Amino acid sequence: MKKTFLIIGIVLGLNPLFGQEEDIDLTVDNSWLKAGITAGVPVSDAGDVSSFALGLDLRGQYLFNPNLGIGVATGYNNYFGKDNYDDFGIVLLAGFIRYYFTPDGLFFGSDLGYGFLTGVDDNEGGLYINPQIGYHNRDWNIYAYYQNTFAENDVDIQAVGIGATYNIRFK
């Protein structure tokens, strides 16, 4: 069921890209690469075996208009083990959408994709979601997030935290 929702989400999320009749013109005002870091506190199942999560975030974004952006996201989150548990990680691959209320100010958005687990036996990963709310300007994004990977064997790897990305212009 989770894989069905993932496929539907990806198809619906990418549909506007393929439905365009005009060529997309990438400029410094509508497209950029976002590179940053995240830090979070594991909760639920992950909180039982991990004390802290630290990650890298990389995104490519295109703005349809000044308020709506879509793109692809990837990254890696390392969950530091506590007590007698080892560290483990999640390699993220997702599409994302963001709504910007003003050119500088509040935004909200979400990632939807797949989280590939590393350092975990008998579990390859699962559906990944990452809603965010934050502040942005031309160069920076600072946000709060809730991240959940619905992994195999009824394991939910969740974290809440903060992140920051720097916008690198394509042209």
**Average pLDDT of every residue of the chain:** 89
Q: What is the pLDDT of residue 31?
A: 87
- The C-alpha angle 61, 161, 165, rounded to 5 degrees, equals 30
Residue 88: pLDDT over 60:
yes
The partner residues of 133 in beta bridges, in order of sequence, read 108, 144
The pTM of this model reads 0.83
Structure tokens at 25: 């013109």
